[in-house]
Amino acid sequence: MSYAAITGWGKCMPPAILSNADLATFLDTTDDWIVSRTGMRERRISHVPATDMAAVASARALACAGLAAGDLQLIVYGSCSYDEQVPNSASGVQVILGAHNAGAMDVNTACTSFLYGLSSATALIRTGVVKNALVIGVELISPYMDWDNRNVSVLFGDGAAAVVLQASDEKLGVLAEHLGCYADARQTLRVRGMGCAYANRGVRYGDTRWDFDGQEIFKKAVKGMCQASDIALQKAGLTPTDIDLLVPHQANLRIIESVAKYAKIPMEKAVLTVERYGNMSAATVPVALVEALEEGRVKPGATLLTPGFGGGLTLCSHVIRWGSRVTPLGASSVDLPPLTTTALELVNGYRAERARRSESEAGLQAPVFAEAAARPPASAA
């Protein structure tokens, strides 16, 4: 059985930067609070649809791998913020890339979507179904963020990254992983307002209410990422000292510090982007991986650990072995269209639209949201 080596990588970060000071212009919050509780100083706000970010990251990853779009056999689009539900988003990326011979599927496990996608694509390569695959982690959270809820709106940002996997006889790529889910706690992180439970019942798509038990998620995230890492390392026959680089999900600096401590991996080995990008959900791990490569932190033959955690509450960790090449074979000239507005203007646009709607539709949505909140976990959509 062959392995699935990572041979290409690319990211696409939208240029508009939203600082903590920007957030403090409309929220009762401070730079001090956000930095001390989360480690975040700024995040990006996209001025384009998610598939456009994903396509730019993907074109860069294909160029890096030296793989023509027409030779691509599978696109896996990891995200929980699709531009549209039908058609799926992977097919949208396929059209932009011109990857006419590829299968195309979306994977949604919230923040772990890229990592679950990596497992899926690796398995399909290892079993000979396809010879190569593009795995994308992308998130466009800003349009459906409840911006006036300070408990959540300071935490998230937009971004995208992608990797190319290719069949290899060498023992490379994902060597072992563990996938899990604390479904009993699925209600601790929930975005009401998106999904068929709300369709045609007076709630506008994306007009969201976030249920978010930060402290409970924090504890479960640390436990889940550590347990998954232990199991993945055992399956790979490795110990924490074998890990050269920790590339964790970036939900909170304190979560990463706790995971590193319990997993017995020094923080110097951790790749951190949380300060500059916040939590980009499915995009955090691939963006951190691409930045580690750009900074020369991934050495030939390196062993990486990528613990992740997301809504569901899904959890996972992957042990990844890098090949001999740590530099791109080529570069792509594609880029996003120029930015004509600031991040704060984009966010204030979303806020104004929400305020306008809640004024004109006051009372209409409340019963639907209340009913959804009261729904027991087992039957909740």
Classify residue 251 by its DSSP letter: S
Q: How many CB atoms lie within 10 A of CB 111?
A: 31
Residues of span 106-125 touching ligand ACO by CB under 6 A = 111
In the window 265-324, what residues touch ligand ACO (CB under 6 A)? 279, 309-311
Binding residue for ligand ACO (CB under 6 A) from 26, 33, 262, 350? 33
Confirm if 306 and 285 have CB atoms less than 8 A apart. Answer: yes
Given 249, 252, 316, 318, which residue is catalytic?
A: 249
Nearer to ligand ACO (CB atom), residue 33 or residue 262: 33
| Active-site pick, 20, 108, 252, 279 | 279
User: What is the size of the binding site for ligand ACO (CB under 6 A)?
Assistant: 23
Q: Is 155 in the site for ligand ACO (CB under 6 A)?
A: yes
Residue 151 found at the interface with ligand ACO (CB under 6 A): yes
CB atoms within 10 A of CB 348: 16
Of the candidates 352, 289, 312, the one whose C-alpha atom is nearest the C-alpha of residue 137 is 289
User: In terms of CB distance, is 34 or 298 closer to ligand ACO?
Assistant: 34
Residue range at the interface with ligand ACO (CB under 6 A); choices 95-103, 146-154, 168-176, 340-348? 146-154
249 is catalytic: yes
Our finding on whether 38 is near ligand ACO (CB under 6 A) is yes
- CB 225 to ligand ACO: min, Å: 10
The residue within the footprint of ligand ACO, chosen from 2, 19, 29, 88 (CB under 6 A), is 29
How far, in Å, CA of 290 to CA of 34, rounded? Answer: 26
Decide: helix, strand or coil at residue 180. Answer: strand
Give one word for 132, left, alpha or beta, with left for phi > 0 and alpha for psi -120 to 50: beta
Positions 227 through 266 that interact with ligand ACO (CB under 6 A)? 249, 251-252
Q: Does 358 bind ligand ACO (CB under 6 A)?
A: no
Q: What is the DSSP annotation of 297-323?
A: -S-TT-EEE--EEEGGGEEEEEEEE--
Calpha distance 311→302 (Å, rounded): 30
Which residue in 87, 17, 18, 8 sits closest to 51, CA to CA? 87
> Which residues would be at the binding site for ligand ACO (CB under 6 A)?
29, 33-34, 37-38, 111, 150-151, 154-155, 189, 214-215, 217-218, 221, 249, 251-252, 279, 309-311
Active-site annotation, residues:
111, 249, 279
